[in-house]
Structure 1
Amino acid sequence: MSCLYKLISDVDQRLIDVLFDDLAISVSAPIRLPMPHLPELRSLAEKWLNQIGEMAGLDNIVALSSMSRRTLTRTFKKETGMSVGKWRQLARLMTGIEMLSEGKSVTETAMFLGYDSISSFVTLCKRLTDMSPKAMAESTLLQK
């Protein structure tokens, strides 16, 4: 009988393999932007997405709807699970990731999304993803 020295037992190796599989799934899982189901809110959300660089203030959005500000914000949160502000940030971030993965520059992306400065966009990316826009672009390019 030959003696093979194993640093890791078979059980440990299987556990490590499962952990790496789980990690790969969580890293590559797509970010999903929840859309409201209520037709009026869905229509507003689609308008925001189509004019993402012109992010009008909430009062301007309320003026487009038949709802009061309070009703709109409460209903939007109930429908999407997040506040209007957080939803809009996520929408901008997702659009930014898509643009960066298509090879657009950080400057071009930030300006298209309506940021006053590139540093505002960089700060948002780092705060929400713990990655710089350049790192996000590289990671999304590797996944394609």
Structure 2
Amino acid sequence: MRILGLDLGSKRIGIALSDALGWTAQGLTVIHRAGRARDLARVLELVKKYEVQEIVIGLPRHLDGRLGEGAEEALAWAAELREHLHIPVHTWDERLTTLQAERVLLQADLSRRKRRQVIDKLAAGLILQAFLDNRRQTQAEKER
């Protein structure tokens, strides 16, 4: 079962994809924002191409848990994708994922230009991986 992860930014949308078993997330691509309809069409193409059965969208939150800037857009995207695709679309707390991605890329000693090219899909991968890990842990706890 493939799951697509989205990190919605103001200029780019980071995209990650799970493996077929839903265990690991890998950064897939970045969509450069070109208007809501075009952005949505591109995501729908990816869903079809990779036979995606679920979607996870990063939900911005402040450190205290309140919804952050961009949360309204993430919730609107979730509703629109559910309507178009009729598959489960989840939101997932994305607190600090961009900061975490930046740290990983700094440790990899990538130049600022190269970091900018991959940070969004890495952040999407971190969001999706956290979702997958939580799902696996929840299932394991239910089986005990």
Q: Same fold (TM over 0.5)?
A: no
Task: Compare relative contact order (CA 8 Å, sep 6+) and give the higher one, 1 or 2.
Answer: 2
Q: Report which of the two has the higher share of strand.
A: 2
Q: Report which of the two has the higher share of helix.
A: 1
For normalisation by structure 2, the TM-score amounts to 0.29
For normalisation by structure 1, the TM-score amounts to 0.29
